[in-house]
Structure 1
Amino acid sequence: MKFRSKILPGKKSKWRRIAIVSIGIVTGLGFFMAKEASLVSYMSDSPQACVNCHVMTPVYNSWMHSSHREQASCNDCHVPHDNIVNTYFFKAQDGLLHASVFTARAEPEVMFMREASEEVVQNNCIRCHIQQVTQVKYNGWLQDHTENRIERKCWSCHQEVPHGTVHGISTIRSNISPIPTDNVETVIPKWLENQIEQNETSKD
């Protein structure tokens, strides 16, 4: 026995139109949100991607004024580097968590790393500073030199590296969002550069 659909042909086309319009709206909103959130930028290594969320401005600015700026970007410290799959999986997982918290306006006043992030940062500290950690010359007079340096968190001593002492997001009121520095040859403002040139000319 064959079952016939109770939906009339006219109603089928009506529901089809509603489904197509709904899918179009959801897809359009998805692309719009991806563009507004600069989603593609998170695939790069540029520190500018981190400042898409304005709560990261103080963290970015403190990194910009640290010695690490010359050698390490955000991803060098905060993303695992054992293999490319793990790198992008961790970035996606961490990014979705950050986006959810930020969207819900649930970010804490002072942000701390999760346990998984602490492990990643610790491993990256050791990866970059392996020579200091394993220096043979210290083993003669420092007992368990390598183990003592690896088993405790690096920032238990180096507390101000590289983000300084001010971590609260309330400092954001007095922080100016950074400008891209990739194509900037100097950070000296033009008016100050002119003043320096005038002073140099007057001395001659």
Structure 2
Amino acid sequence: MLWSVRTVVDRTLHGPRSVGVAALAGAALMLAALFGPPKLFEYSESPGFCGRCHEMERESWERMGSHRRERCVECHLPNRHWIPHILAKGIHGTRDVVAYASGRIPDPIRLSEPGQRIVHDNCVRCHGAMVSRIDAGRRCFRCHRRSTHRGATR
């Protein structure tokens, strides 16, 4: 019988130590992705990898114009330099594994303030010429939040 990650976690992680075990597992996965074979790191940045825990409406994302060709990390992680990218990937990845494993995922999922800054900075990084003509006091996804994820609230 094939079990999903969620099934294994549900059957093995119970009690007060579950969050610690999940954090340790997440950290181990991130270290393996960072320092393991290059293909593992590459896969860890793919929508297929992210979608294993981040249950989203992938079909709607895949049909969303030019963004359908982008990997999740292009928008959701810092991309101006590799050091902040790797650090954020490890921190956010571990946090997300813990939330998923412990069943503490909010519904709906809302982007944190630091996450909003990262996404906005990446909008500007890719669409800088267009964004320079827009009011600097607003974030791009205030109007365009559904341009990549249907049902996104913020």
TM bracket, shorter-chain basis: 0.5 to 0.7
1:64 paired residue number = 62
For residues 86-136 of structure 1, what are the alpha-carbon distances to aligned partners after superposition, in whole Å with 9 as ceiling and x for unaligned? 1000000101111111111110120011111110000000111111122xx
Letter in 2 for 1:98: D
Residue 59 of structure 1 and its aligned partner are, at CA, apart by 4.1
Q: Is the 8 A contact 1:59 1:163 kept in 2?
A: yes
Seq. identity, % = 24
Alignment partners' CA distance in 2, 1:132 and 1:164: 23
Stretches of structure 1 that go unaligned for 5 or more consecutive residues are 1-29, 135-144, 168-204
SS in 1 for 2:110: coil
Residue 63 of structure 1 and its aligned partner are, at CA, apart by 1.6
1:49 paired residue number = 49
Query: Is 150-159 or 87-96 further displaced after alignment?
Result: 150-159
For residues 135-183 of structure 1, what are the alpha-carbon distances to aligned partners after superposition, in whole Å with 9 as ceiling and x for unaligned? xxxxxxxxxx44x1x321111111311111267xxxxxxxxxxxxxxxx
1:96 has 2:82 as partner = no
Residue 60 of structure 1 and its aligned partner are, at CA, apart by 3.1
Alignment partners' CA distance in 2, 1:113 and 1:166: 9
Letter in 1 for 2:151: T
Residue 58 of structure 1 and its aligned partner are, at CA, apart by 2.2
TM-score (structure 1 length as normaliser): 0.52
**RMSD over aligned Cα, in angstroms?**
2.6
Pick the structure with greater CA Rg.
1
1:120 has 2:114 as partner = no
TM-score (structure 2 length as normaliser): 0.67
Change (3 A) 1:42 1:106: farther
Instruction: Specify which of 55, 71, 80 is matched with residue 78 of structure 2.
Output: 80
Structure with more contact order per residue of length (Cα contacts < 8 Å, sep ≥ 6): 2
2:137 paired residue number = 151
SS in 1 for 2:55: helix
